[in-house]
A and B are shown apart, each in its own frame.
Chain A
């Protein structure tokens, strides 16, 4: 199927959100708010919970399912304080040796006046750098859209997984087409060239696992996908937690170190 069909499914307003997965997969979720600097960004949710009896920190980029909810969640487009909240919770997780699970679903970091004033670029950069060295196991799952630096800011993890119909890209196909060809209407064509589907990214080694969805998308059978994700998280946590932390960090470094194709 054309890659743009995945884009459409990934953007469906009925697509299950980060909070849906948190409710289904984790127990005792206690939501923790705020970046301790500016405000609480509702596009990013986070807190502590347990899975299979293991305390973890779970963070998600949250879209809404109604227009009102989406306005509250800023359509899942975080401001710098959202990334800083995530960073605060991840550093807290490191302190208490809790594994971290990030659920990513954003078209991108919010492009706004306040976001720039408060250092959107700096906030994302800081996350990339700190996450590379967090001394605790980390897993991220792209559950819908994985939009550019705004998604990567939560995805510098030991494992990166995608739901079957989610997408992960340097830019939206519309943005890509308008930059390269000055014609956003060529988004479908762009989507095919960009290699943004879970299947393509698995082939390229950008992600480690694809989590299945039923035909038409996981909104048609949420339990199916959520149960799969739960089982995979449980077994992967066991593997990652058994590793010596220095080994884990070396492997994480090499994971990202290996990306790139060039001639010399």
Chain B
């Protein structure tokens, strides 16, 4: 540890005041370094509108050739799915009934430009906020489902995400239904400050009640699952599944690299890394998720659709 050696090297000569200053300086230096953003050279390549460049194999591919599951036909890279497509891929056809459709963000800190930003994103994405919730059946089994959407402020969790997910767990507790959450989030929503931090506790407390009532909770970690979402409901599933090669972690890679002054290996914070370290039950291919979920629901004697 270079940092420690540097500090210790000068210890005997310096006064307490200098020590204090150094401690402050080191502390202040930690987040500061993150200012330096590596700028990627922008090679302007002409990509036709209906095409996309796969970041994994670098091939230019037609968007529609990704198919409904958004998988690169050349290298099988998983592109991010929005909540709508995900629900279509997971829930039995026509079974999804959305809850809290109109819930949208307020501005608890009166943060400048937050409301305008929300409005702009709502128009652009057709979403109200970063999660869709509702009831559905999967292979005939009834469940409550929440699907986060990285297209809306990187899936960050503010009051709306926290409240909608809390209601998912409360609904599941009340109606004795399993809960399935597809996570995908950059973490807490900064513009809601401490209120977004409190959502971690709020949702986790609702998970606790659902769990105490003996109900099943399955999380499916999708790219990316980080920060306050990882440090709350994402890691609380009775069963935790993940898609292949998904970024999953608590702290950001850059913050860690600056703290430990070391380059991190490529596989760090991938679903494979988490599986190896014991924090994920299984990695499941995207096309196998509906079947896997169905089997899990079946093995927990979950309720089949009635009527």
A interface, CB within 8 angstroms of B: 11-14, 66-68, 70-71, 75, 107, 109-113, 115-122, 124-126, 128-130, 132-133, 148-149, 152-153, 155-156, 168-172, 174-176, 178-180, 182-184, 193-196, 201, 204, 206, 252-253, 256-257, 259-264
Contacts and interface: CB of A to CB of B under 8 A. Distances in A.
Contacts of A112: 251, 256, 259-260
Given A124-B231, A178-B34, A194 B204 contact: no
A126 B22 contact: no
B2 to A, nearest CB: 13
Interface of B: 4, 7-8, 11, 16, 19-20, 22-24, 27-28, 30-32, 34-35, 37, 100, 102-109, 111-112, 158-160, 162-163, 166, 188, 190-202, 204-209, 211-212, 227-228, 230-236, 249-252, 255-256, 259-260, 262, 264, 268-269, 273, 277-279
B190 A176 contact: yes
Contacts of B234: 121, 125
Contact of B259 (A111, A182, A183, A193): A111
10 contacts: A14-B20, A67-B19, A113-B260, A113-B268, A122-B279, A124-B250, A125-B231, A148-B188, A149-B250, A263-B106
A125 B236 contact: yes
B249 A194 contact: no
B198 to A, nearest CB: 4
Given A67-B23, A71-B4, A256-B201, A195 B231 contact: no
A178 B31 contact: yes
Contact of A169 (B193, B209, B212, B279): B193
Contacts of A70: 23
A244 B306 CA distance: 40
Contacts of A168: 194
A152 B201 contact: yes
Contact of B233 (A125, A148, A170, A195): A125
A205 B134 CA distance: 30
B235 A194 contact: no
B256 A206 contact: no
B58 to A, nearest CB: 28
A177 to B, nearest CB: 8
Contacts of B259: 110-112
Nearest to A107: B27
B193 A196 contact: yes
Given A112-B259, A116-B249, A260-B202, A201 B31 contact: no
Contact of A253 (B24, B108, B205, B264): B205
Please indicate which of the listed interface residues A122, A124, A174, A175 has the most CB atoms of chain B within 10 Å of its own CB.
Answer: A122
A253 B31 CA distance: 34
A152 B197 contact: yes
B19 A66 contact: yes
B251 A120 contact: yes
A110 B250 CA distance: 10
Contacts of A115: 250-251
B146 to A, nearest CB: 15
B256 A111 contact: yes
Contacts of B107: 261
Contacts of A194: 109, 193-194
Most buried by A among B8, B104, B163, B197: B197
Given A174-B32, A175-B31, A261-B195, A120 B231 contact: yes
Given A67-B11, A196-B194, A184 B31 contact: yes
